[in-house]
A and B are shown apart, each in its own frame.
Chain A
Amino acid sequence: MIYKVPTDLESIFPNYLTNLNNNLVLMLKDFNEKNYLNVKKIAHNIAGTAESYGLKRIGSYAFMIENALKQEKVQEIEHLLNLMITEIETSSFEYSDEE
C-alpha cells in the first residue's frame, strides 16, 4: 500500500509517523496489561487524525478498535491491532495531492 500524504504536511509528517509508531507500542503495552481505557483513548486519537494525514485505512482500523472496546469485544482487538501494525510496516508513503 502506498499512502499519499498531502504535500503541505511534508514538514510535520515524519514527526507524526514517529508518534504513530510510539502510540502503537503504547497501545500494545496497554492491551497486554488490560488497560483498555488507555487503548481506547489512543485508538480514538489515531482515528481522529490519521485520515487527515492521508492514512485513511489506518484511521479505520483505529476506529474499529475504539468501537470494539466500546462493545467490550476484546478478542477482536488483538486481530485489529495485528492488522494495523502490518498495514503500517508494509506500507510506504509519498507526498502527493492526488486523491
Chain B
Amino acid sequence: MNKTQLELLTHEKRELLSQISKRNYLDAKIDINLLVVDDDINFLRFFNQRLNSNTKYKYLANMYTDELSALMNAPTDIPDVIVIDYHLSLSEGYQIGEMMKSVLKHDIPIIYISSDICVMEILNFEHVITKPLNIADFEKKITDIINCRREAA
C-alpha cells in the first residue's frame, strides 16, 4: 500500500468518524422500564395497547392488578418509573408508593394516576396524570422526569 492509498484510507476513516459524531442519538428510542399498578384490568389493557403504539420511547412494562404482587415482584426488575393508580382495592396508591420506595431502596419517580382530579390537586404529588389517560401527556411527563434526572446527574 502506497502513501496515497494510506492517506485515502485515513481520510475515509475521518469521514466516517465525522458522520458518527454527527449522528443524532436523541432520535434513538430510549428504553423505559415501567412498573404499573392499577386494579382495573381494562385500564391496564388500554394502557399497554397505547404504550405499544407509536410512542416516543420504547416501554417495557410490568403491570399488576394487585398491589401485593407488585410489591413482591418489584425488586426482581427494578423499574425506571412507577405508575400507581391512587385508588386501589386494598389501599391508597400513596401507601403503596411509599412501600415501593422502601422495598426498592432507590429514589424512583412515581407517577400517580386517578380520575379524581380534585383529590390529585389536594394531595399535590410531584408527578400526577389524570384519567382518561392521554398517552401524549404521559410521554411528556416521562420526558420531564428524564430531563430532571439528567440535570441532577
Contacts and interface: CB of A to CB of B under 8 A. Distances in A.
Contact size range, A:
20 to 34
Contacts, number: 51
Contacts of A44: 87, 115-116
Contact of B40 (A8, A45, A63): A45
Contacts of B87: 41, 44
Interface stretch (B9-17, B21-29, B43-51): B43-51
Contact size range, B:
10 to 19
Contact of B46 (A41, A52, A59): A52
Contact of A45 (B39, B45, B132, B133): B39
A8 to B, nearest CB: 5
24 contacts: A8-B50, A8-B53, A9-B46, A11-B49, A12-B49, A15-B45, A16-B46, A20-B42, A44-B87, A44-B115, A44-B116, A45-B39, A45-B40, A45-B43, A48-B40, A48-B114, A48-B131, A48-B132, A49-B131, A49-B132, A51-B132, A52-B46, A52-B132, A59-B132
Interface of B: 39-43, 45-46, 49-50, 53, 87, 89, 114-116, 131-133
